[in-house]
Amino acid sequence: MKVDFTQDIAYLSWANEKLGVNFNPKDVTWLTALDLKGDIAGVVVYSRHSTSNCEMSVVATNPRFLTPGTLKIFFGYPFNQLNYRRVMVVAEHTNKHAIQFQRRLGFVPEGYLRAWFPEADGVLMGMLKDECKWL
């Protein structure tokens, strides 16, 4: 697995299509994992940037792209390069698989977001830099 740091708009367009969103490239950054053939394995989009925080959105064709090595890169970017104190993720409250996976990564439930998604509420989860086991 190779992580591509270029801000290739094709990768963001792919993530937008898969997530059903429309991230504006002027407002976000993204890192892309490529498999050995050079095909997209997954994209991590960093949005809602503030002085100490951002939101991470992940989309993948193969969840195995989240190896210890890629997780070190994906979490190293907001915590070490941007020097953020925390990162957050939001999952649909009905997506128990995503919520369990986020907990295994080290995220902690922080709140419930009513009507966050078009058809569902959201569960807000956060991780502080000193809690991140991937650095």
For residue 97, pLDDT beyond 80:
yes
**Predicted TM-score (pTM) above 0.85:** yes
For residue 63, pLDDT beyond 80:
no
pLDDT (average), residues 32-61: 94
Residue 114 has what pLDDT?
95
Mean pLDDT for the chain? 94
For residue 83, pLDDT beyond 80:
yes
Give the dihedral sign, CA 131/133/134/135. Answer: positive
For residue 45, pLDDT beyond 80:
yes
> Other CB atoms closer than 10 Å to residue 40's CB: what's the count?
21
